[in-house]
Amino acid sequence: MEDDKIIDLFFGRSEQALAELASKYGTVYQRLAKNILNNALDAEECVNDAYLGVWNTIPPKRPEALLPFVCRIVRNLSITKYHANTAQKRNSVYDAALEELEECLASRGSVEEEVSAKELSQLIDSFLDTLDRESRILFVRRYWYADSVSEIAARIGISSNSASVRLSRIRGKLRKYLKKEGYEL
């Protein structure tokens, strides 16, 4: 079913909207949550909470693109759950992806002191526009969806080592780009 039809079902308050959403994109949402949480039960809980959030948000909101709209909800809920679960311990899968970016974004003060989150987001978006399609996919799959390097490599048909090297180079370019734009590292 097309996204517009699913959104129309939400506006009609039809429970079929949730079934269609889960049928079309459920595996994407589950994978996103599981990549962050590294726990299938917690991932399922976050996805179900996201469905409730979507139900309560549509209407009145009408998203332009349904997949990223719900992915953002799933990701935010998963990150909140991740922080609650790992207040005193580490989740190596998600922490590894974040630590890779840390060298690009770290500063003496907090990120909020240096650049607002919105400004940093705009800088990263602008940086992504400078990359070729495959490099953008590598970056987004690793640092937004928290896919493992081996999963990303398989997805685009390169070796894990090549993917790792390319990610390292992209981070280096990001570091240079942010520095050039006045972001203090």
Q: What is the pLDDT of residues 49-99, one digit of tens each?
A: 999 999 999 999 999 999 999 999 999 999 889 888 876 555 555 666 667
Question: For residue 158, how many other CB atoms are within 10 A of its CB?
Answer: 16
Which residues 6+ apart lie within 8 Å of 162 measured at CB? 153
Closest listed residue to residue 138, CA positions, set 101, 106, 111, 92? 101
Please say if the pLDDT value at position 3 is more than 50: yes
Last residue of a domain, one of 26, 61, 85: 85
Final residue of a structural domain among 48, 70, 85: 85
Q: What average pLDDT is seen over the chain?
A: 86
Question: Which domain CATH number covers 162?
Answer: 1.10.10.10
CA distance 82 to 4: 32
Query: What DSSP state is assigned to residue 183?
Result: -
pLDDT, residue 133, reads 93
Structural domain of residue 40, as residue ranges?
Answer: 3-85
- How high is the pLDDT of residue 90? 54
